Amino acid sequence: MLPALPFPARPLEAPPRRWSMRLHPATAVSGLMVALVLARGVSTEPATAAEPCALAAGRAEVGQAVAGRASFKADTPRFADPARREKLAGAFADIDRAARQFVAAGQVPGAAWAIVVDGELAHLGVAGTRRADDDAPVDGDTVFRIASMTKSFTAMAILALRDAGKLSLDDSAERYVPELKDLTYPTTDSPRITVRHLLSHAAGFPEDNPWGDQQLAATEEEFSAMMRRGIPFSNPPGLAYEYSNLGFAILGRIVSRASGMPYRQYISERVLRPLGMTSTTLEAAEVPAARLAHGYRWEDERWKEEPPLPDGAFGSMGGMLTSIKDLSRYVGAFLDAWPARDGAETAPIRRASLREMQQVWRPQPAVVGRDTGGGVRLNAGGYGFGLRISQTCRFGQVVSHSGGLPGFGSLMRWLPEYGVG
């Protein structure tokens, strides 16, 4: 079972001048690029099969939560426990050890990981090499492909345009992408696809992995022709969740049409630059060779390099490349949006919009099972805007997204109630 630390968490919907803090451990699966969080401390008893999730959590923590509340100025949020960062730092060596063992066991040629606390990079670790055929080490500035983690950047661009009054999330997608006007919908009473449908994978398109990955090199002309030929539906828009790379490719076209500039330029100027993400790009050719991580597959008892993937019209669904330092800035912006408060806005979009991205807009069925300690595990949640949202007994709200392309794997995950990612 996973242990708990003896201090409480802040409620996400906190009173305007008071909050509290709770921290549990969480680990992220290690890939070529990973955002990890892990904390250790005293253990608590697991929930039993007959014990409701909320009751089991409350039994161990309600006293701590009450004791941990503290006043704070609305523009300077702080956790109450002065030793909190020191306690977190006690787990960093364990994280490094686990990740380096993973790389040393031959699971991947190289990896980078980081822990973000209260919006700032608190710890960074690396292991292995950028290429399997030389000894050039991975460092904090090594640039990896992050595949579908790109989707949240696209969602942030859409909300930036919404905040600027350039579009509405409830606008019909065909207003910006006229190639969609002649689609044949599955029923006569189907609603037209909206921007909101696309953001939450509810446009009605069939799940399209790994087909979407194979379209990264498509030109804008080829993408337009594809849409004019027609797009199949598995459901009427708005009826169900189905993961759609195509939907986020269409969102990239909407960013371009609504902003009046190419998607890549808008992302660079309005999202990456304000966050100081100077190593992040949508084109591998822009990355210096001495900083680029290469992707591989294990075949015939050796690493074989995957061919490079160019960025085309589908880049908005999975074409981003970034470093662990840059990704930490990005995760930090989402953590810094909590809680709602007074004070200056410093992110590319409003804090309220960052929190909006981290809400469930397309619910999915809850999952109930047993953990390794024999207790009950309950996960509920769904998809936000370019992000996956889970509500758990152990960790509260968990926000995440992963990415995978041939030769690369990535994951970012953060716990808003704990200020850790």
Q: How far apart are CA 400 and CA 388, in angstroms?
A: 5
Q: How far apart are CA 324 and CA 269, in angstroms?
A: 20
The reported pLDDT for the residue numbered 370 is 84
The reported pLDDT for the residue numbered 9 is 60
Q: Which of 4-18, 209-223, 297-311 has the lowest mean pLDDT?
A: 4-18
Q: How do residues 111-168 score in pLDDT, each as one tens digit?
A: 999 999 999 999 999 999 999 999 999 999 999 999 999 999 999 999 999 999 999 9
- pLDDT, mean of residues 232-244: 97
- Look at the alpha carbons of 217, 223, 229, 232 in this order and tell me if their dihedral is positive or negative: positive
Task: Grade residue 97 by pLDDT with cuts at 50, 70 and 90.
Answer: very high
Contacts for 104 with CB less than 8 Å, ≥ 6 apart:
127
Contacts for 353 with CB less than 8 Å, ≥ 6 apart:
159, 160, 162, 163
- pLDDT, mean of residues 269-297: 97
- pLDDT, mean of residues 220-236: 98
Residue labelled with tokens 């809400």: 359
Q: What percent of the chain has pLDDT over 90?
A: 74
The one-letter code for the residue type at 169 is L
Q: Residue 116 in contact with residue 95, Cβ under 8 Å?
A: no
Q: Residue 125 in contact with residue 48, Cβ under 8 Å?
A: no
User: On the CB side of 291, how many CA atoms lie within 13 Å of its CA?
Assistant: 18
Task: Grade residue 286 by pLDDT with cuts at 50, 70 and 90.
Answer: very high
Q: How far apart are CA 377 and CA 53, in angstroms?
A: 8
Architecture of domain 1-372+401-421: 3-Layer(aba) Sandwich (3.40)
The reported pLDDT for the residue numbered 11 is 57
Q: What percent of the chain has pLDDT over 70?
A: 81
Q: How far apart are CA 151 and CA 282, in angstroms?
A: 12
Domain locations along the chain: 1-372+401-421
The mean pLDDT value of the chain amounts to 85
Q: Higher-confidence residue: 377 or 235?
A: 235
Q: Higher-confidence residue: 36 or 330?
A: 330
The reported pLDDT for the residue numbered 22 is 30
Edge-to-edge order in the sheet of strand 408-414: 120-128, 110-117, 33-35, 408-414, 396-405, 388-392, 376-383, 362-370
Residues facing 405 on adjacent strands: 408
- pLDDT, mean of residues 83-98: 95
Q: How do residues 307-354 score in pLDDT, each as one tens digit?
A: 988 889 999 999 999 999 999 999 999 999 999 999 999 999 999 999
Q: How do residues 168-205 score in pLDDT, each as one tens digit?
A: 999 999 999 999 999 999 999 999 999 999 999 999 99
Q: How far apart are CA 206 and CA 58, in angstroms?
A: 40
pLDDT score of 109 more than 70: yes
